[in-house]
A = this chain, B = another copy of it.
């Protein structure tokens, strides 16, 4: 069945599978010490225009978040996130599992407003009994957000400045980073992000890999004995080659950017179709996720023709659903969507 359910419904980009086959019988050392990991790291450093970046591969997004956050926070610190942030609501309390609080801020379309952040930090330090409170020790952003929205360069610069004023790292969850970078509305490049964030990850799982996220420490700030900390969290992949080979392929000949651009083009065409059909948007995003409002009757019919995500009840007779494109979305898929509406 045709699916717009999410951006991780298909397998991997064919070039990744090809490379896995090509290299399959090479005898390689484990735990990320192989030559493909090295090569992938080098290519990522180049793409980030950050020669000194320290790159580490992890298997999934929640894992990346909990490993990065728990190893970078000090014992007395928590992480600031939007109330709608993935770590706040949809990771089963993975950050709290590591002993740290998620300090939730009000948001706007999934984004932390710089003023809100600044006020929070100012008033924290104004409180005389803050020794009994969780210290804000990091800012977590998702970009694109869970609503597909994007931070502007100006916003990210402000947030970065605030973080550095308070001497706490800025961390970006880039599960869908490719789709953000390739959005026509984005004025942020990968080097911008590497410059403004202290640590971020480049999502593979949702952008064409079987699995894998590339964590990038940009300020020579990778925690000591990081491999041990990954192992301790049960997150160290024995055949690290699986991650190295995938990212090496994604960062060869701009594949990561090309397939992200394709998803965005498909999303733009999808938006045009939706407009033409006079569908009501709940949130029209500049990236690969669109949120629309459907009558419950129509929703039932649509369900028989294609897959999508239930998002939330809108009112008694309407529902919000999410439609996502990805590297694997085809013109044919869009045609089915058009006909189904």
Do B237 and A234 touch across chains, with their CB atoms under 8 A apart?
Answer: no
A75 touches B235 (CB 8 A): no
Which B residue sits closest to A12, measured CB to CB? B24
Q: Report the minimum CB–CB distance from A72 to chain B (whole Å).
A: 10
A120 to chain B, nearest CB (A): 13
Query: Would A26 and B6 count as touching, CB distance under 8 A?
Result: no
The residues in A between 91 and 129 inclusive whose CB is less than 8 angstroms from any CB of B are 91-94, 96-102, 104, 126-129
Number of interface residues of A (CB under 8 A): 84
| A97 contacts B94, C-beta separation under 8 Å | no
Structural contact, A231 and B94, CB atoms closer than 8 A: yes
Q: Give chain B residues whose Cβ lies under 8 Å from the Cβ of A6.
A: 30
- In the bound complex, residues from chain B placing their C-beta under 8 Å from that of A65 are 234
Interface presence of A57 (CB below 8 A): no
Cβ distance A238 to chain B, nearest Cβ, rounded Å: 5
A312 to B11, CA, bound (A): 42
What are 22 pairs between A and B in contact, CB < 8 Å? A9-B27, A10-B24, A10-B28, A12-B20, A59-B237, A60-B234, A62-B231, A71-B75, A76-B229, A90-B133, A91-B232, A92-B131, A92-B133, A92-B229, A93-B99, A94-B233, A131-B228, A131-B231, A135-B228, A205-B239, A211-B238, A233-B234
> What B residues does A313 contact at CB under 8 A?
126
Q: How far is the CA of A237 from the CA of B204 in the complex (A)?
A: 12
Q: Which single member of B17, B128, B234 contacts A63 (CB below 8 Å)? A: B234
List chain B residues, Cβ under 8 A from A328.
25
Quick check: B17 and A21 within 8 Å, CB to CB? yes
- Spell out A's residues near B (CB within 8 Å): 1-3, 5-6, 8-12, 14, 17, 20-21, 23-30, 59-63, 65-67, 71, 74-76, 78, 89-94, 96-102, 104, 126-129, 131-135, 205-206, 210-211, 223-225, 227-229, 231-239, 241-242, 307, 310, 312-313, 328
**Of B17, B135, B234, which one neighbours A225 at CB under 8 angstroms?**
B135
With both chains docked as a complex, state the minimum distance between the C-beta of A6 and any C-beta of chain B, in angstroms: 7
Which of B10, B27, B228 interacts with A26 by CB under 8 Å? Answer: B10
Known: A233-B234, A238-B8. Is A101-B99 also a contact (CB below 8 A)?
no
The distance from the CB of A146 to the nearest CB of chain B, in whole angstroms, is: 12
Q: A17-B20, A20-B210, A92-B228 are in contact. List 11 more A-B contacts (CB 8 A).
A: A3-B27, A11-B26, A11-B239, A71-B75, A76-B224, A90-B133, A92-B232, A93-B134, A131-B225, A132-B228, A205-B239
